[in-house]
Amino acid sequence: MRIGEGVSLDMTLPPVPPLDSEAVTAARARQKALTKPPGSLGRLEELSIQLAAITGKTPLSLDRKAVIVMAADHGVAAEGVSAYPAEVTPQMVLNFARGGAAINVLARQAGARVVVVDIGVAANFDPATPIRHHKIAPGTQNMARGPAMTRALAEAAITVGLEVVNAEVAKGLDLVATGDMGIGNTTASAAITAALTGQPVATVTGRGTGVDDVGLARKISIIERALAVNKPDSNDPLDVLCKVGGLEIGGLVGVVIGGAANKVPVVIDGFISGAAALVAARLAPEVKPYLIAAHQSVEIGHRVILEQLGLRPLLDLDLRLGEGTGAALAFHLVEAAARILDEMATFAEAGVSDKA
């Protein structure tokens, strides 16, 4: 795999295969033959061709879907960057495990399984809790005072993401989405976005859990301080991740790369998932065509990320929850695109006259 310029990794990333050109040709030909004016289903047609290119399959089957929710705490939460206390992270993990969170509801509707991963929550869970127990540290350090984590921890987080998605592929996986939980993670995501894109902190930092104007100003100031203290190298995405990122963001980097390596379409959720996708694409540019942007988050930095990745979101519903909720909603459109290609009759099959 081609690694981004200036990046040195002790770990080995799995190779991401090229898109299947024969499947693209077959999908395009079938789209032109379906009983509709060419292009009349707009982006659903483009999406179906992308799915065929990724999977190498026509017909497509997307029955086996999963949302992988990475959970971790952030030391920077101590600076008051969130409207909610850090205790909410483990409380919400338990809510996920009981099936009571928004992502559980939307995933059930979409026929997707929810895979909750404790990669760095600053609390201990009963081993019987129905989550994946992969804690590599009890959260990150306070990035406003020094690096959020070591380079080795960042690589370990990516490795967890790779292992989790590989385990899901072994069970059967046709479509995967990224989700997150972690008080303080919009702060880390804004710092990553500013560091990798060169945009001013104020233009990529939103209100997260709903901080007021004073809280937003404090959040921007904390991120600016973190960047000044740590001086992350914009040419080295792993350096950015370890200095101002989060363990769950690192885990999602692994999910993105691992999904692409297994020829599974990756539906990225909002701002945190977008930051992870940005890091993944800088580490392994080959993942970009495997990405599907679920929605446009209210978080202002998300727009910058999508522009950097060259992605157009499927939905714009003023969402800012995270958890993978926007991705679960987008599953319906992704599956609709696949069904159109697979199930719609051609002019010849239906006995309908094509255009002159």
pLDDT tens readout for residues 308-352: 999 999 999 999 999 999 999 999 999 999 999 999 999 999 999
Q: Bridge partners of 71?
A: 118, 181
User: What CA–CA distance (Å, rounded) separates 185 from 208?
Assistant: 8
Do 55 and 204 fall within a single domain? no
Residue 302 lies in a domain: yes
Select which of 168, 299, 323, 335 is catalytic: 323
Report the C-alpha dihedral over residues 342, 343, 347, 348, rounded to 10 degrees.
80
CATH number at residue 43: 1.10.1610.10
User: What CA–CA distance (Å, rounded) separates 331 from 147?
Assistant: 36
Do 159 and 234 fall within a single domain? yes
- pLDDT band at residue 6, thresholds of 50, 70 and 90? low
CATH number at residue 74: 3.40.50.10210
Do 114 and 158 fall within a single domain? yes
Catalytic residue check, 349? no
Residue 322 lies in a domain: yes
Residue 75 lies in a domain: yes
Do 175 and 210 fall within a single domain? yes
> Considering just the CA atoms, what is the radius of gyration of the chain in Å?
20
Structure confidence at residue 2 (pLDDT):
52
Is the pLDDT at 3 greater than 60, yes or no? Answer: no
Residue 14 lies in a domain: no
Residue 16 lies in a domain: no
Do 110 and 157 fall within a single domain? yes
Computed over every residue of the chain, the mean pLDDT equals 95
> What is the span of the domain harbouring residue 113?
65-333
Cis peptide before 59 (omega within 30 of 0): yes
Domain count, the chain: 2
Structure confidence at residue 187 (pLDDT):
97
Structure tokens at 230: 């740590």
